[in-house]
Amino acid sequence: MDVLKILFLLLLLSSCSRLEYLTKQGIGQVKLLTQSTPYADALASKEYSASDKQKIKKIQTYKKYFYQYFNLPEGDIYSKVYKLDQEAVTYLVIASPFKLIKARKECFPFVGCFPYLGFFSKKDALEHSDNLKRNGEHVWVRPVYAYSTLGNFTDPILSSFFYYDDYQLANLIFHELFHTILFVQDEVELNENMANFFAEIMTAEYFANDKQYMLKHGTYKVWLDRGMALMVKWAKELNIRYKLIKSTKREPFEAQFAKYKLSVIDRDTEKYCKDSVNKSCWLKTIPLNNAILAAYMTYEGTENKILELYDKTGLSLKEFFSYIKDNYKQLL
């Protein structure tokens, strides 16, 4: 049934310019669904390590906890396992013009618009990225280790899930499952921030009695949030500087970026990385450009609004979920 639904949607969504892209993505999704191994068979298989099997079992525990939390039926999601032949399940291509930090929107009938284009094939993602670069755009190709089909299909457990420790894995599962119970069309920022918010609180509650986990990951999240706030600050300040440039040529904008990076970004990064909780500091590893900054800017602000509203209502998380379903428009 899932395969038929994919093919039907593919026909509905197809147009001359998008047919090849949609066909490849449809084939990729069909492959995940038809070549996945049932949960019990994966546990009996030598293809997965003992550690992987432990995580497969924990995912079932996290899934049960999530749906019991909201008094909802579990369904068949994560009842199968798929071993990827590459690091990530998909690769997002995020693009921004050289003279403005703003993610290019990719729109489709029925599902809405997104600030990226996703590819199951890394090769296809890189080819699309190269085409955008030739057109003068800044591009970021970002690997994605998990995604949700929003309850439309029975998503399998992916081998990329096994990269995460227990706390990160629980957070990941809660995040992706949240997308299956609430999704607002054309509102990527709102959807991601709501899933982040609910997953963070649920994970904290799940591990409330594990002080080691809470200390380790609580400290890391505070540090990570500081870095993300810096990215948003840089994006806003650069956009102001870009607006002052009257030229339509690329060179003045590139020169302004280089100047700002030397005078502000490098200084902020050095200061931030002195407090690094890891041996390597993530801000130093990212080759910054307009597209990367646009990606971080997309998710700025909304999660704080959700937290403020949650505190204001005084509701339990389950009650707040029902409230959000009826009142999400005030967060837009």
Please give the tally of structural domains in the chain. 1
Question: Rounded to whole angstroms, how far apart are CA atoms 127 and 129?
Answer: 5
Q: Which two tokens stand for residue 261?
A: 């990076």
| Farthest-apart Cα atoms in the chain, separation | 65
Contact 55, 61 (CB under 8 A): no
DSSP letter (8 states) at residue 159: G
Please report whether residue 133 resides in a domain.
no
Q: Is residue 238 part of a domain?
A: no
Cα–Cα dist 8/101, whole Å: 36
- Please report, for residues 82, 115, 128, 198, 231, the alpha-carbon distance to residue 42 in angstroms, rounded to integers and kept in the order given: 9, 35, 35, 30, 41
Give domain status of residue 287, yes or no. Answer: no
Determine the Cα–Cα distance for residues 160 and 133; give it in Å rounded to an integer.
29
Domain that holds residue 13: 1-35
Contact between 54 and 174 (Cβ < 8 Å): no
Q: What is the pLDDT along the chain (332 residues), one digit of tens a residue?
A: 344 444 444 444 444 456 778 788 888 888 888 899 999 999 999 999 999 999 999 999 999 999 999 999 988 899 999 999 999 999 999 999 999 999 998 887 666 778 899 999 999 999 999 999 999 999 999 999 988 887 778 899 999 999 999 999 999 999 999 999 998 877 878 888 899 999 999 999 999 888 777 777 777 788 888 999 999 999 999 999 999 999 999 999 999 999 999 999 999 999 999 877 666 788 998 889 999 999 988 665 567 788 888 999 999 999 999 999 888 777 75
| Distance of alpha carbon 83 from alpha carbon 57, whole angstroms | 16
Please count the residues of the chain: 332
Residue 2 in domain: yes
pTM for the predicted model, two decimal places: 0.83
Residue 26 lies in a domain: yes
User: Is 138:45 a contact under the CB 8 Å cutoff?
Assistant: no
Does the residue 249 lie in any domain?
Answer: no
Strand order of the β-sheet with 37-38 is: 37-38, 80-82, 157-158
Whether 27 is in a domain gets the answer yes
24, part of any domain: yes
